[in-house]
Amino acid sequence: MNGNEHVFDDRPPGVRPQENTANFLSYTVGLVLAIAATIGSFVVSQTDLLWPPGVPVGLIVLAIAQIGVHLVFFLHLGSGSDNTNNILALAFGMLIVFLVITGSCWIIANLNDNMMPMPAH
């Protein structure tokens, strides 16, 4: 194996690519972005800045953006080859989470639609 050859190396989640002074910066950038997304969520939900029927979509978009910020800047998950195993596991977890949540909502919405009308109590 010569020195120039690129060697794939597994990196655990939560570990930075190399120890350097940029680590503190990474956490701080993450914190600033997360604060921005959080304040954005509160502003969107409490004001009419967005078209009102679009507010839930706006909130979901902001939440997904903030989760992305946390994964990249706090958990240091990246697209590098040393992160392949971590990302694959995350992708599988997200698939299951997606199936459970949307599947439940879909099935129960169908059941509610097909309910016999019930007298109000």
Partner 1 sequence: MTIAIVDTLPAETVSGRGGGGPAPTRTTIAYGFWIFILSDMVMFSAMFAAYAVLSGNTAGGPTGRELFNLHNVFIETACLLFSSYTCGLGMLSAERRELSRFLVFAAFTLALGAAFLTVEISEFAGMVEKGAGPSRSAFLSSFFGLVGMHGAHLTVGLVWLVYTVAQALAKGLRPVVLRRLACFSLFWHALDIVWIGVMTLVYLMGDR
Which residues contact partner 1 by CB under 8 A? 7-15, 19, 23-24, 27-28, 30-31, 34-35, 38, 41-42, 44-46, 55-56, 59-60, 62-63, 66-67, 70-71, 74-75, 81-82, 84-86, 89-90, 92-93, 96-97, 100-101, 103-105, 108, 121
For the bound state, the minimum distance from the C-beta of residue 56 to partner 1, rounded and expressed in Å, comes to 6
**Cβ burial, residue 76 (10 Å; 0-12/13-18/19+):** buried
Distances (CA, A) of 8 to 25, 45, 71, 82, 107: 26, 45, 22, 6, 44
CA angle 37, 68, 72 (to 5 degrees): 115
Is 64 in contact with 32 (CB distance < 8 Å)?
no
Q: Please, which residue, 49 or 100, has the CB nearer to partner 1?
A: 100
CB closer to partner 1, 117 vs 121: 121
**Least distance in angstroms from the C-beta of 42 to partner 1:** 6
